[in-house]
């Protein structure tokens, strides 16, 4: 079919499918210099349904080439989220270096069951294991999905972490096929109310010290986002092959991204020297009705995760855009340094009018109570990004960012009849009833992040705008904030302001970005 872009809002440098609906990243792995990114995919339309694993490949995490979907829906059910590993020793008996994928098969008839597929051509063609499923819930649980598999070296075994409603369950296996239940974690932990989805589990050094490592459990929750709907949360702790013991109290919720459009984060397997993740840039509250037609759903820029000790002594995870994005910079403009006490200072931002740029700067709010900058267009549509020093927050306000009202009542949740997963979930959300979804309130709002995560007086901001998304990284990803915006014209200007004492903006750089 003809896949020439017809969408005004299609990102210029973020990964999107050329046609059809996309949600979660799935089965990501790196082998022989190639990053493989699969994703929840509907090849037949741009709303959720008919789930397959779509597939794209890249050598630099930025330029993606779409290839044939790897795992297609079958009579057992939808192909839901999951992961892929490189079976170096051939434990699954498909030969050394086979790629083995574990995914959830979902249908009304069979429920949510874990299945396996393997590839002997480096991950391009997958064969489903004829003995599927390889794992069913021991208690008949309805929500049991999104297996993430990893090699646990101390016991020389495969482990699977799988979301089971309000907890994560661990299983182990010698061959990726026979799974034994180990333990569970999560009941009552983190933001409430919630439902756990799309787990990940890996080890990272703390503050770069290779002798001090901690385990990180990523839990994507829906609902549970601070601002409503979907978000990525994480827990830090220790793991002995049996139990995960979390460092913090159950009531502590740590978020990987403080925007409203960052969900289903998972990491690549097979990358040796860093932990790299990608998230889906949307929120189940309105994912099905965003003003897009040909395709729907984009991924975040790839990010690297690191652990750092916060000023409260707790360990947090930073999420910073990968350095490979520097290759996207096509122009470079330096704006003069500014010290402002009152009022505003406006600058022309971009001459290309493509709405695809990066803006970097060092901000010293000084004694200002509120200071920030506004990205705006000729129609007065604007995004306000500011430091609320009284509240100790970085805020991004999209209430007047462009189109903020779309879709009719509850249209977001009119998805494939046969398996209304997300409709089912929305009913369970106590504070938001089905058929009364108010897109104005769900979409148009400000999101904020605690500045205490940064522990500094000057903040380095790296902001990526791409047609309909804004990603903000502060101090190397100690704060990450991802939000969709739908301006009817590109943001071409920026206005800096401070409403009190002097604030300084230095090293302001603007680059147009293109593939
Ligand atoms: C998360 C999710 C997963 C599920 C998939 C279905 O966004 O609900 O739990 O596997 O989407 O598309």
CA–CA separation, 471 and 476 (whole Å) = 13
Q: Which one, of 7, 91, 16, 1, lies nearest residue 301 by Cα?
A: 16
CA–CA separation, 115 and 94 (whole Å) = 16
Q: In the block, which residue shows the tokens 């996207």?
A: 328
CA–CA separation, 500 and 503 (whole Å) = 9
Q: Which one, of 404, 412, 385, lies nearest residue 468 by Cα?
A: 404
Out of 24, 87, 261, 397, the active site residue is: 24
Q: Which two tokens stand for residue 458?
A: 């000057």
Q: Containing H/E element for 333?
A: strand 333-335
Binding site membership of 112 for ligand 1 (Cβ less than 6 Å)? no
How confident is residue 351, by pLDDT bands cut at 50, 70 and 90?
low
**At residue 425, does pLDDT exceed 60?**
no
How confident is residue 440, by pLDDT bands cut at 50, 70 and 90?
very low
**For range 74-86, the mean pLDDT:** 96
Q: Which of 128-132, 193-197, 288-292 has the lowest mean pLDDT?
A: 288-292
The DSSP secondary-structure symbol of 77 reads B
Ramachandran area for residue 380 (φ above 0: left; ψ -120 to 50: alpha; else beta): left
The DSSP secondary-structure symbol of 55 reads E
Ligand 1 mean position, distance from CA 80 (Å): 6
> Residues of the chain with pLDDT > 70: what percent?
92
Condensed to tens digits (0 to 9), the pLDDT of residues 138-183 reads: 999 999 999 999 999 999 999 999 999 999 999 999 999 999 999 9
Pick the atom of ligand 1 nearest to 220's CA. 1
Pick the atom of ligand 1 nearest to 425's CA. 8
The helix/strand/coil state of 195 is: coil
**At residue 136, does pLDDT exceed 90?**
yes
Condensed to tens digits (0 to 9), the pLDDT of residues 379-403 reads: 999 999 999 999 999 999 999 999 9
Q: Which two tokens stand for residue 238?
A: 């220790």
**At residue 406, does pLDDT exceed 90?**
no
Residues 6 or more apart whose CB falls under 8 angstroms from that of 63 comprise 515
Binding site membership of 264 for ligand 1 (Cβ less than 6 Å)? yes
Choosing from 40, 47, 104 the residue with most ligand 1 atoms within 8 A of its CB, the one to mutate for a pocket test is 40
Binding site membership of 145 for ligand 1 (Cβ less than 6 Å)? yes
**For range 421-425, the mean pLDDT:** 39
Ligand 1 mean position, distance from CA 376 (Å): 35
**At residue 198, does pLDDT exceed 50?**
yes
User: Across the chain, which distance is largest between two alpha carbons, in Å?
Assistant: 70
Binding site membership of 146 for ligand 1 (Cβ less than 6 Å)? yes
Ligand 1 mean position, distance from CA 24 (Å): 7
Q: Cα 200 vs. chain centroid, distance in angstroms? A: 12
**At residue 409, does pLDDT exceed 70?**
no
Ligand 1 mean position, distance from CA 142 (Å): 13
DSSP annotation string for 334-384: EEPPEEESSSEEEEE--SS--SEEEEEEEEE-TT-SEEEEEEE-TT--EEE
**Verdict on whether the full-model pTM lies above 0.90:** yes
The reported pLDDT for the residue numbered 426 is 34
How confident is residue 439, by pLDDT bands cut at 50, 70 and 90?
very low
How confident is residue 434, by pLDDT bands cut at 50, 70 and 90?
very low
Binding site membership of 394 for ligand 1 (Cβ less than 6 Å)? no
| C-alpha distances out from residue 320 to 167, 303, 317, 428, 481, Å | 27, 5, 10, 33, 10
Q: In the block, which residue shows the tokens 């897009």?
A: 292
The reported pLDDT for the residue numbered 476 is 98
Strand partners, 333: 510
Q: Which residue has the higher pLDDT, 468 or 436?
A: 468
**At residue 130, does pLDDT exceed 70?**
yes
What's the whole-number average pLDDT of the chain? 92
Told to judge if 397 belongs to the known catalytic residues of this protein, a careful annotator would answer: no
Choosing from 27, 81, 221, 284 the residue with most ligand 1 atoms within 8 A of its CB, the one to mutate for a pocket test is 81
The helix/strand/coil state of 423 is: helix
Length in residues, the chain: 515
Q: Which two tokens stand for residue 218?
A: 């990523």
Pairing of strands 127-128, 111-119: antiparallel
The reported pLDDT for the residue numbered 415 is 37
Ligand 1 mean position, distance from CA 81 (Å): 6
Condensed to tens digits (0 to 9), the pLDDT of residues 173-193 reads: 999 999 999 999 999 999 999
Q: Which residue has the higher pLDDT, 439 or 101?
A: 101
Pick the atom of ligand 1 nearest to 48's CA. 12
Q: Are 484 and 16 in contact (CB under 8 A)?
A: no
Q: Which one, of 46, 42, 34, 47, lies nearest residue 84 by Cα?
A: 34
**For range 447-475, the mean pLDDT:** 97
Q: In the block, which residue shows the tokens 């097979």?
A: 270
Query: The complex's ipTM?
Result: 0.98
Binding site membership of 198 for ligand 1 (Cβ less than 6 Å)? yes
Binding site membership of 197 for ligand 1 (Cβ less than 6 Å)? yes
CA–CA separation, 108 and 297 (whole Å) = 25
| C-alpha distances out from residue 310 to 245, 409, 512, Å | 20, 42, 34
Q: How far apart are the two ends of the chain, measured CA to CA in Å?
A: 23
Binding site membership of 51 for ligand 1 (Cβ less than 6 Å)? yes
**For range 333-358, the mean pLDDT:** 85
CA–CA separation, 338 and 496 (whole Å) = 9
Ligand 1 mean position, distance from CA 439 (Å): 21
Ligand 1 mean position, distance from CA 166 (Å): 15
Binding site membership of 461 for ligand 1 (Cβ less than 6 Å)? no
The per-residue b/e assignment along 270-294, b for 16 or more CB within 10 angstroms, e otherwise, is beeeebbbbbbbbbbbbbbbbbbeb
How confident is residue 493, by pLDDT bands cut at 50, 70 and 90?
very high
Binding site membership of 426 for ligand 1 (Cβ less than 6 Å)? no
Pairing of strands 275-280, 303-309: antiparallel
């Amino acid at each position: 079919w003809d896949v020439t872009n017809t969408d005004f809002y299609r990102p210029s440098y973020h990964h999107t499918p050329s046609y059809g609906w996309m949600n979660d990243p799935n089965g990501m792995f790196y082998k022989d210099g190639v990053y493989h990114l699969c994703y929840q995919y509907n090849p037949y339309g741009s709303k959720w349904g008919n789930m397959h694993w779509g597939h794209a490949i890249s050598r630099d995490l930025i330029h993606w080439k779409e290839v044939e979907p790897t795992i297609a829906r079958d009579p057992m059910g939808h192909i839901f989220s999951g992961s892929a590993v490189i079976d170096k020793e051939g434990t699954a008996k498909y030969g050394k270096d086979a790629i083995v994928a574990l995914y959830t098969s979902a249908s009304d008839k069979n429920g949510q069951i874990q299945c396996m597929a393997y590839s002997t051509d480096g991950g391009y063609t997958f064969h489903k294991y004829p003995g599927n499923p390889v794992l069913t819930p021991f208690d008949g649980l309805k929500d049991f999905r999104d297996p993430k598999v990893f090699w646990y070296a101390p016991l020389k075994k495969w482990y699977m972490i799988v979301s089971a409603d309000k907890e994560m369950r661990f299983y182990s296996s010698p061959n990726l096929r026979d799974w034994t239940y180990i333990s569970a974690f999560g009941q009552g932990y983190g933001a409430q109310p919630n439902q756990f989805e799309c787990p990940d589990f890996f080890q990272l050094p703390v503050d770069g010290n290779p002798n001090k490592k901690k385990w990180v459990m990523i839990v994507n929750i829906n609902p549970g986002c601070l601002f409503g709907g979907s978000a990525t949360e994480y827990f830090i702790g220790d793991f002995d092959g049996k139990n995960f013991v979390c460092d913090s109290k159950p009531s502590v919720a740590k978020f990987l991204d403080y925007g409203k459009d960052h969900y289903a984060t998972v990491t690549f397997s097979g990358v040796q020297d860093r932990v790299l993740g990608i998230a889906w840039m949307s929120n189940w509250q309105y994912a099905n009705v965003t003003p897009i037609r040909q395709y729907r759903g984009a991924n975040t820029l790839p990010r690297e995760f690191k652990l750092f000790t916060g000023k409260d002594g707790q360990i947090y995870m930073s999420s910073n855009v990968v350095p490979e994005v520097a290759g996207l910079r096509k122009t470079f403009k330096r704006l003069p340094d500014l010290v402002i006490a009152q009022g505003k200072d406006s600058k022309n931002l971009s001459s290309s009018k493509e709405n695809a740029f990066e803006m970097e700067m060092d901000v010293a709010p000084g004694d200002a109570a509120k200071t920030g900058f506004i990205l705006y267009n000729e129609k007065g549509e604007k995004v306000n990004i500011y430091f609320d020093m009284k509240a100790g927050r970085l805020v991004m306000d999209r209430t007047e960012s462009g189109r903020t009202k779309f879709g009719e009542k509850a249209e977001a949740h009119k998805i494939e009849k046969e398996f209304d997963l997300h409709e089912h979930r929305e009913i369970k959300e106590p504070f938001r009833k089905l058929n009364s979804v108010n897109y104005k309130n769900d979409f148009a709002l400000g999101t904020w992040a605690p500045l205490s995560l940064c522990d500094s007086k000057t903040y380095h901001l790296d902001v990526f705008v791409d047609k309909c998304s804004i990603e903000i990284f502060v101090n190397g990803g100690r704060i990450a904030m991802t939000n969709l915006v739908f301006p009817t014209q590109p943001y071409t200007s920026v206005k800096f302001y401070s409403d009190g004492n002097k604030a300084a903006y230095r090293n302001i750089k603007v680059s147009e970005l293109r593939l």
